[in-house]
Amino acid sequence: MKVLIVDDSSDKIRKILNVLIDSGLDEDRDIDVAYCARDAALLLESNDYGLMIIDLYLPIRLSEQPKMDGGAFLLKEIERRESLHRPEHILGLTAHDDAKKEAEPEFNKGLWTIAKISSSSNEWKEVIVEKVRYLIARNASQSQDAAPACDVLFVCALRNPELTQLKLALSSEWEEIALPNDATVYFRSVIEKANGDKFSVIACSSPSMGMTASATLATKASLKFRPKVLAMTGMCAGREKEIELGECLVASKTWDYGSGKFFGQAGNGNARFLASPYQLAVDPVVQTATELVMADRKLLDEIHDRFVGNSPDRRLALKFAPMASGAAVQADSQFFKSIVEHQDRKVVGIDMEAFGICWAARETFEPRPIFLVCKGVSDFANEEKADSIQEYCSFTSACIALEIIKRLPLS
């Protein structure tokens, strides 16, 4: 899918690019930029774009000053000239109310969207993310016949150490899968249970950390491979005194801890954040399977002993508890206190992706996959990071997730 940005502000273009890249697009392959209406028209003559993001206050030519109706002028040109390929979706961005009012008739005619851009609101970013996610998912759905179905889909936030250790933990035989028009590299293997039953696994990693990237990949891959289980393994931060470094946590429920609303004025220090999270609970069959693995002391010891590398001195343990997700890495010793006091007193872990994975599973087509998030605690969300056990956490969380999945009804 290709996106065209039409804007004469380099600063705004950078902000839009960051949102698109975080949504899973490649800057060099998927995104073109035009600084005026004339340059945009030239690109539209030779390219098909799934999305065009256009500044409404735009110069017609580079040598001219921006005009209030510059964006509307380009839309009229697209309608008038048969040589221009009309983008499938068009999103107008503006900080000017007069430009918005001027362009609304053209946008309403095409059933397109105008979003107000400002430093105090991220609504325009959310509109872009939703449009990109829809287009990626739709394209994936159209090409899903080219992808083999699987029983379990693993999505990791990082290629290394998370995906690397997952592959080591699950199987010694992986087949690399490359699909047409898809930049993601997938790996496929077949796992055999003790009773001889087999199930297929697809594993992949997102291009960057965060809920947006992981949710986009999970949505795209779920539509391609139609898994019965959607799982994520890797690393998370743990709540000190509630869980130890190196222990694994299976999320009993997840939510976005940044979901809510600010009240008051930020400039005078009176701004107050009121959290309003939507929590997603796991399927009861995941809880039952997790509790069976938690009670198997011999199995946990075997997983601990299988890892080759730096590992904690303590025995491997597993907890089933709430995990919150947010948009940034946390290194604040008071952060968990805030989550406990204002959102969920039983929270044990935080990461940057879990809620996005679970939401993707919830929102995909029927039959929806069971979702599972299992992560090893590599730090306490403070200034002291335990980077030395990241590989251990990635390996053991993958092993535990596999054992849980073996106990799920996949037929």
Please check whether residues 301 and 332 belong to one and the same domain.
yes
CATH no. for residue 372? 3.40.50.1580
- Domain contains 276: yes
CB atoms within 10 A of CB 153: 27
Please check whether residues 119 and 192 belong to one and the same domain.
no
Looking at 278-327, list the stretches that DSSP marks H as alpha helix, in order from N- to C-terminal side. 284-294, 297-306
Angle at 362 between CA 174 and CA 280, to 5 degrees: 110
396 three-class SS: helix
Task: Give the integer Cα–Cα distance in Å for 410 and 141.
Answer: 23
- Domain contains 134: yes
Task: Give the integer Cα–Cα distance in Å for 354 and 323.
Answer: 8
Please check whether residues 75 and 200 belong to one and the same domain.
no
State the residue for tokens 């490359």: 178
Please check whether residues 234 and 356 belong to one and the same domain.
yes
Please check whether residues 162 and 204 belong to one and the same domain.
yes
**Cβ within 8 Å of residue 186, ≥6 positions away:** 176, 177, 178, 179, 202, 203, 204, 221, 225
Please check whether residues 118 and 158 belong to one and the same domain.
no
Q: Which of 95, 125, 142 is the last residue of a domain?
A: 142
Please check whether residues 127 and 192 belong to one and the same domain.
no
The sheet with strand 3-6 has its strands ordered as 31-34, 3-6, 51-55, 89-94, 113-116
Please check whether residues 79 and 175 belong to one and the same domain.
no
- Domain contains 237: yes
Q: How many domains does the chain have?
A: 2
CATH no. for residue 18? 3.40.50.2300
User: How far from 126 is each of 16, 243, 290, CA to CA, in Å?
Assistant: 11, 34, 35
Please check whether residues 170 and 133 belong to one and the same domain.
no
Please check whether residues 276 and 365 belong to one and the same domain.
yes
pLDDT at 268: 55
pLDDT at 333: 58
Please check whether residues 160 and 138 belong to one and the same domain.
no
Domain span including residue 17: 3-142
**Cβ within 8 Å of residue 123, ≥6 positions away:** 115, 116
Question: Tokens for 26?
Answer: 């490649």
pLDDT at 189: 96
114 three-class SS: strand
Average pLDDT per 10 consecutive residues for the chain, totaling 411 residues: 93 93 90 96 94 92 91 89 91 83 75 77 84 78 64 95 97 89 90 91 90 92 94 94 95 85 55 69 96 97 95 94 79 69 84 93 89 95 74 98 94 70
- Domain contains 63: yes
Q: Which of 142, 161, 178 is the last residue of a domain?
A: 142
Question: Tokens for 247?
Answer: 């222990």
Please check whether residues 155 and 286 belong to one and the same domain.
yes
- Domain contains 250: yes
Q: Which of 142, 157, 182 is the last residue of a domain?
A: 142
CA 227 to chain centre: 18
DSSP assignment string, 191-210: EE-TTS-EEEEEEEE-SSSS
Q: Give 305: exposed, middle or buried? Use CB within 10 Å, 0-12, 13-18, 19+.
A: exposed
- Domain contains 411: no
Question: Tokens for 153?
Answer: 């889909």
